[in-house]
Chains A and B, each alone.
Chain A
């Protein structure tokens, strides 16, 4: 393989490994900015993956599948919000419950779909642009969800920093009591933020089962939901750094595909450990500066709000 062709193929696999992380982390970022810590990302991704796959296979329309996956993720997050926002349940425990439930639920629904093939999500194919050497396939030859992941990140970035509604959402996350006193509906805003996060996780799951490996397998997210959660911490709740983090991890994930191709004799299991170990390293690096971490963390993250006190 020539150098340019190798570069293109590496870049393409980095993008496809980074996209599900970016989608899920963008959603969780909005949820956490509103002060809600939803540890159920992994579960919501799995639900999205299986629903997206089933609907696409059943209807023949990937668009429908993706919409259904987003809805399924949002419904799962709605359940989470009912428990944590309305019933003031512990957010850490409820998130874990959502992941356990999502794993079981997706396996039950997906039992009949294991091993069924599905054509991968179509890629954009522009007449001239997509055929530019090296950059063409990278910039103009992706599937819709890759572009969506960038659009969503840009939209969220604008929303949080430039829009009035985004300001309100951040206020709710930083001081729910003050936001409530001014007259904002803390409960409603948190419901919306949680459901947006759920929808994005659902889409991230659909990317896995429709584009990344077009098939359904039990537990196919393999910890990506947890890595996405770590990415939000890594980003210090800033969208631009989320992009950097997702692509950094995308790169680490695909190392395992290329490291053995380069003839380095390491057992594959050790290479597969890399993304998880890298997550730990990154968390340590970012968390050790305590004061900066505290400065960036939404002040009410994980704390229940009860207007009646």
Chain B
């Protein structure tokens, strides 16, 4: 059926918030179909994936643990995306945060000291900023696309991490495994809720959301970033410095990704290994979009995507599905979300079949 897309006068706020709901529901429906096609009991699979992971208190706390890095990274990315700054390098910034902060933790050894943890956290944020500063410099000084440069640095960061854990930082008592020694007690994130793995990073994620919201909604800087993204020309007429805002968006998102890195390394993982992140830096891109590039939305989006990780693990154990299923869900979710977002800016008008006047031959998908 041919259709025509009619621009709405203004963005539909209703659809802006309904579209993620539609996308999540569609993903569940589609995944059920995939399970049925694979010959797995669809109902049980849906239960395993969505409800089983959060059916008890322990599961809920794990959801928070998995969501923390996604929310931290996603909050920073969302701020950048709004300003049309495409930081795809959060994965690398996460790793550099873990390396910088972890380096201090390893150097501290078993020594006690209240300064160790704060120093690690600061170093983690700094590490992420350093890594994000490279695409920022290349973008503002040399006009190089931050999408490609930040992404290339992800691979470099991963190789750097491997070099460290098989080389100079390798645990001499680690039976040859590619990993560092475990962080000492004073270099490990404190657990906030006894009996769970909820650590300081979970609280930090919530605080980051609140602070970035304040920044976006209540400060001139936040306003400038919004204008830069929505109307770059207006921003330049108003005299807002594009390069300076690009720097800010990249450094802030880099710092948050670096924080996520050190919280993970010195939290649930407890050491540096080659597989610190199951793709948090990429998944956080979906979190940002699902959360409508709004800090509070990112918080919700982070929980949804955290569930996809937990569900993936459960499905692996209970149904024998490869862990990669998680990636399919995440990809489908983003696809559906982007499709549903059409309705934020456009109305769909069906066109009566034979009509070919210019101006009404837009889409032709049947």
* B52 in the interface (beta carbon within 8 A): no
Contact across chains for B328 and A308 when beta carbons are under 8 A apart: no
Contact across chains for B163 and A293 when beta carbons are under 8 A apart: no
Contact across chains for A90 and B159 when beta carbons are under 8 A apart: no
Contact across chains for B159 and A233 when beta carbons are under 8 A apart: no
A222-B324 CB under 8 A given contacts A89-B338, A187-B364, A267-B163: no
Of A86, A97, A270, A307, the residue contacting B331 (CB under 8 A) is A97
A309-B7 CB under 8 A given contacts A87-B339, A270-B159: yes
Please give, as numbers and ranges, the residues of chain A lying within 8 Å of B149 by CB-CB distance: 280, 283-284
Contact across chains for A307 and B360 when beta carbons are under 8 A apart: yes
* A92 in the interface (beta carbon within 8 A): yes
Q: How far is the CA of A277 from the CA of B151 in the complex (A)?
A: 11
Of A108, A226, A309, the residue contacting B151 (CB under 8 A) is A226
* A253 in the interface (beta carbon within 8 A): no
Q: Count of A residues near B, CB < 8 Å?
A: 58
Of B141, B143, B332, the residue contacting A101 (CB under 8 A) is B332
A187-B363 CB under 8 A given contacts A101-B332, A223-B152, A279-B148: yes
- Minimum distance in angstroms from B333 CB to a CB of chain A: 8
Of B4, B327, B349, the residue contacting A104 (CB under 8 A) is B327
- How many A-B Cβ pairs are below 8 Å? 176
Contact across chains for A181 and B7 when beta carbons are under 8 A apart: no
* A229 in the interface (beta carbon within 8 A): yes
* A260 in the interface (beta carbon within 8 A): no
Contact across chains for A108 and B328 when beta carbons are under 8 A apart: yes
Contact across chains for B148 and A283 when beta carbons are under 8 A apart: yes
- Interface membership of chain A positions 72-92, coded 1 if the CB is closer than 8 angstroms to chain B and 0 otherwise: 000000010011001111101
Contact segment of B189-197, B240-248, B253-261, B281-289: B281-289
- Interface membership of chain B positions 64-101, coded 1 if the CB is closer than 8 angstroms to chain A and 0 otherwise: 00000000000000000000001010000000000000
Contact across chains for A107 and B327 when beta carbons are under 8 A apart: yes
Q: Count of B residues near A, CB < 8 Å?
A: 59
* A272 in the interface (beta carbon within 8 A): yes
- Interface membership of chain B positions 338-356, coded 1 if the CB is closer than 8 angstroms to chain A and 0 otherwise: 1101100110010000000
Q: Is the interface of B mostly helix, strand, loop or mixed?
A: helix
- Interface membership of chain A positions 40-57, coded 1 if the CB is closer than 8 angstroms to chain B and 0 otherwise: 000100000000000000
Contact across chains for B361 and A233 when beta carbons are under 8 A apart: no
* A148 in the interface (beta carbon within 8 A): no
List B126-172 residues whose CB lies under 8 Å from chain A: 134, 138, 141-145, 147-149, 151-153, 155-156, 159-160, 162-163, 167
Please give, as numbers and ranges, the residues of chain B lying within 8 Å of A181 by CB-CB distance: 358
Q: How far is the CA of A291 from the CA of B107 in the complex (A)?
A: 49
Of B88, B148, B358, the residue contacting A230 (CB under 8 A) is B148
* A269 in the interface (beta carbon within 8 A): yes
Q: Supply 27 A–B pairs (Cβ within 8 Å), ascending by A.
A: A82-B365, A87-B339, A89-B341, A94-B338, A97-B331, A104-B324, A104-B326, A105-B328, A105-B331, A111-B324, A180-B358, A181-B358, A223-B151, A223-B155, A230-B148, A269-B160, A273-B156, A276-B153, A279-B152, A280-B134, A280-B149, A283-B148, A284-B149, A288-B143, A306-B7, A306-B362, A308-B5
Q: A283-B145, A308-B4 are in contact. List 6 more A-B contacts (CB 8 A).
A: A87-B339, A102-B331, A103-B331, A187-B364, A269-B163, A279-B148
